[in-house]
Structure 1
Amino acid sequence: MSSVLTTLASLFLASSAFASTETVSLQISVHEWEPQAGDQLLIDTEGNWGYLAHDDGLFIRFPVVTGQRRSVRYIGRYYNATTPAWDWEIKSAHRKGDRVTFGPTGRFLRLYKNGEERTAYGIHGHKDAAQMLAEDDRFRSMGCIIVSENILDTIGEAYEFNGGNLAVKTLYGDPFAVLLSREENGAKTD
């Protein structure tokens, strides 16, 4: 979505907030972002966009790189590298020695499926992250979520602020539209 459309959508949603008690989503810049309790990370694996969101609807948006959408042979395994659509939690942070795969700092935020099952998936930088993030086709990882170092800093701050536990949801499609659609469908079945 272009910045003009994002701004127009935000203004429309903000103006409709006066007639509603529901939370309204409004994009802010990464420089305005301060972590809060209850922050959540949403990843759109169709458009390859990440959204770090507060409970009050304020969010930042940033490009991400996700899985290649094909079967790969990597670290002794053969698997489908598509980043799965799951509910996760970041529950641990690590430093990896491989500065090509994990970027200049080697930071790796481990994803736990449904908050319980430790996985090989995580969020990290990459030596070529700037180049990959600038491309239109950002399906380049082996399944993990690759972000820029400054976004990794921001996600890390939210993780630490929330006591070493940050909720993450990966979805195929615009997470706000998908979540809103699920809420509306749930309301109709009640």
Structure 2
Amino acid sequence: MRGSAMQLKDWCTADRVSIRFYRSVIVLTMLCLANWPASAWADGRSGSDEDELVFSVFHGPATVVLADLNSNGHKLGDLRVTSLPIQFVSGEPAGRLDATLITTGINVPEPDDEIRISNLIFVFSGGIDQIVVNGSGYYPAAGPTIDLDSSLIRPVTGGSGQFAGTTGWAETRHFANNSWEHTFHLQLPEREDGRGRRHRRRH
């Protein structure tokens, strides 16, 4: 009987140790998850891209003007221009978008398609802060912009003010309801503060 009692006591002690161990594992796991960067949950990125600034601006239907009056809108060198207000996701005014499109290829990749190069300037803070987006893409010859319910990715080639020296890329989405979203993925350059420490500027 004494041996059985001692064995039972050993089992109970072992069970309590195991319970405490597993509780510790659970607590540590929850602490790790709680401190995981929010961006990793928000958009699927690991925490390694913490220096990437991501934000979007929006606008309604774009009125694009063909500047070449003698063109039928489907010729090499056609110039299209637009300027329109943009806003943040909150609905607050963000600034404006000034853009030009130049046709560099016709009937490519299919008949009645075109290749156009674009120069988009996103202007913030009354003109001090700007983001420059350049790139090339396929467009329908009959349309002034990319198709409804489509998107186009282009490089960010620079900026000014808060965005001086920035690089990255931007995705333009044209929704089925004819509204637009431009999402920027920016890599900000390192700055040196008054103490000689280098850091990336936050916006």
When Rg is computed on C-alpha atoms for both structures, the one with the higher figure is 2
* Structure with larger RCO (C-alpha < 8 A, sep 6+): 1
TM-score, normalised via structure 2 length: 0.27
Instruction: Give the TM-score taking structure 1 as reference length.
Output: 0.28
